[in-house]
Every structure is written in structure tokens, then in C-alpha cells.
């Protein structure tokens, strides 16, 4: 069986993080690839978002990359 690999932009990551369901993306799709520009937008440039928001995304993604 082929593994599904999903490439994500920032919108679903931000929206699922806002409702506390970031992990559902991995449950649904398995491997999620985050382009470097997306990583920079939601983690490196985290000052654009509330601290808890960027922390949740970072914690959720760091486990998967």
C-alpha cells in the first residue's frame, strides 16, 4: 500500500491549531510535508501570531518532521 504524503501550506496548520486539532492532519493523511517557506511563516516568524498559537504548531510539527 502506498503511503499518502501531503504537502501543506500554512492555512490548514493554523486553523487546525486554533481548534486544538493539529494532530488530526496526521491521523487523516499520515506524512505531512511542510515547505521551508511555510515553516518560516508559522514558526520562525512567530511574532505574527499569539505565542500559544505558534507554540502549538511548533510542538505539533516538530514531532513529525
Q: What is the pLDDT of residue 65?
A: 46
Instruction: Calculate the alpha carbon distances from 56 to 2, 4, 17, 34 in Å.
Output: 29, 24, 7, 15
Does the structure show a pLDDT above 60 at 1?
Answer: no
> What is the per-residue pLDDT across 20-42, written as a single tens digit (0 to 9) for each?
888 888 788 877 788 888 888 87
pTM, full prediction:
0.65
**CA 46 distance to own-chain centroid:** 13
Distance CA 49, CA 64 (A): 21
| Average pLDDT of the chain, as a whole number | 74
Domain span including residue 16: 5-62
- Whole-angstrom Cα Rg for the chain: 11
Give the list of residues 6+ apart from residue 43 with CB closer than 8 angstroms, or none: 54, 57, 58, 61
Number of folded domains that form the chain: 1
Amino acid at each position: 500500500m502506498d503511503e499518502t504524503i501531503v504537502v501543506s501550506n500554512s492555512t490548514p496548520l493554523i486553523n487546525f491549531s486554533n481548534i486544538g486539532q493539529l494532530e488530526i492532519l496526521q491521523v487523516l493523511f499520515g506524512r505531512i510535508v511542510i515547505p521551508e517557506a511555510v515553516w518560516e511563516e508559522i514558526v520562525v516568524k512567530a511574532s505574527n501570531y499569539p505565542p500559544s498559537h505558534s507554540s502549538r504548531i511548533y510542538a505539533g510539527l516538530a514531532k513529525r518532521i
